[in-house]
Amino acid sequence: MRSSFYLLALLSFCCSLAVGAQDTHFTLHDYNPLWLNPAQTGAYSGTVRVGGIYRGQWYTLNGLSTPSAYVDAPIIRGLRKFDWIGVGANLINDQSGMGADLGLQSNYFGFSAAYHLSLDNNRRNVITLGAQYGSTTYSLDVNGTSLVQQLTIDPALGGGGQSQGEFQLNQEGSDGESYNNINAGIMLRSVLDPRKQNKLEAGISLLHLNNPKQNTLVPTSRDTTGGGPPVGSNNEDNRRRKPTLHGHARLDLEMDGNWRFQPSVFAQSSASVTSVSLQAWGSRALKPNVNLRLGLGYRTGDAAQVLVGLDYEQLRAALSYDITLSQARTIDNYQGAFELSAQYIINIYKKPTVVPTMLCPKI
């Protein structure tokens, strides 16, 4: 079982490098705003927002892990009195292999900016345009013992069937590769009922707008039948990273004095693969500034989701667990995936200027 798992993970990663990988996905997508949509940059009330999220999958098999962190801030007023501009940065590290055994990983670091256009003087309806520029680096540890074994052992034994000569990577590939990304998005936020603070948020973003070239790290070779296409082909079409589409919407509705209902939908389409995540959160006020959040979700054809969150003043934290429903459950032994996230909004208040006033006692 472990050998089959290694081979499956390896082949999945290698194919993704060759023909355009699918982007990382998160269950707690609302807790990773700059990854969700560049238009989320500075889309909150406060001075500075910092946060992070960690995703672990197939962890008892020494499997996949994806930590991410971000920071953003609304820094300056826009061209009009009620508009503003936000800037931010985010980092995603995707370790797509089995730790030291395979050493497959990619790192993304990007800067984003967004212009928030208020449609009214109370900022109850805001349209935001955002853009992000970043760089992705990815590498493969060619010294990993599992990688050598899985690529070179006989296909009848579950390996790749390559000779030692075919396995040797060129120096450029062994040192890793990189490419630059341009992402953009648009979002609408609207206060539906100011008295109840009912809100709607919806947006769409497109990643890899520049169709960056992504070189394969897999050696070029023919398949074992002798007539197939090259493995790890590095032609122009295969090197182009296909755009990824994010679509998201969320409601925040008051049910009664203590309960709020917060349904959301998130769709991701990448490399001809589309997934839709539906979530329903319920939030209960335990005391002033303390809210407990519970929810359930479902990602099409993949997993059911159990969701727990806690809001304490300016701190938001959440935990999720994915219950695998697809055929992958036979490989991960029904382990699924978990995520842990937190974000904190820092408020820095400007000290007011008090003008002394002289009062005449005769008045």
Q: What is the pLDDT of residue 14?
A: 45
Q: What is the pLDDT of residue 195?
A: 92
Q: What is the pLDDT of residue 143?
A: 54
What values do phi and psi take at 332, rounded to 5?
-90, 10
Q: Which of 234-238, 255-259, 274-278 has the lowest mean pLDDT?
A: 234-238
Can you list the pairs that 268-273 forms with residues at least 24 positions away whose Cβ atoms lie under 8 Å? 268/23, 268/25, 268/244, 269/244, 269/245, 270/22, 270/23, 270/242, 270/244, 270/245, 271/16, 271/19, 271/20, 271/21, 271/22, 271/242, 271/244, 272/242, 273/22
C-alpha 5/C-alpha 15 separation (Å) is 15
CATH code at 2-346: 2.40.160.40
Q: How confident is the model at residue 146 (pLDDT cuts 50, 70, 90)?
A: very low
Q: What is the pLDDT of residue 49?
A: 97
pLDDT over 60 (residue 4)? no
Q: What is the pLDDT of residue 330?
A: 60
Q: Where are the domains of the chain?
A: 2-346
pLDDT over 90 percentage in the chain: 53
Distances (CA, A) of 333 to 1, 106, 323, 325: 10, 26, 11, 11
Half-sphere exposure of 206 (CA within 13 A, CB side): 7
- Written as one letter, the residue type at 233 is S
Pick 13 or 183 by higher pLDDT. 183
Q: What is the pLDDT of residue 258?
A: 86
pLDDT over 80 (residue 164)? no
pLDDT over 70 percentage in the chain: 69
pLDDT over 70 (residue 230)? no
**Per residue in 49-96, pLDDT tens?**
999 999 988 655 556 789 999 999 999 999 999 999 999 999 999 886
Q: What is the pLDDT of residue 104?
A: 73
For 90-118, what is the mean pLDDT? 81
For 115-144, what is the mean pLDDT? 88
Q: Which two tokens stand for residue 157?
A: 């034994």
pLDDT over 70 (residue 308)? yes
Q: How confident is the model at residue 223 (pLDDT cuts 50, 70, 90)?
A: very low
**Per residue in 323-347, pLDDT tens?**
988 766 665 565 788 999 999 999 9
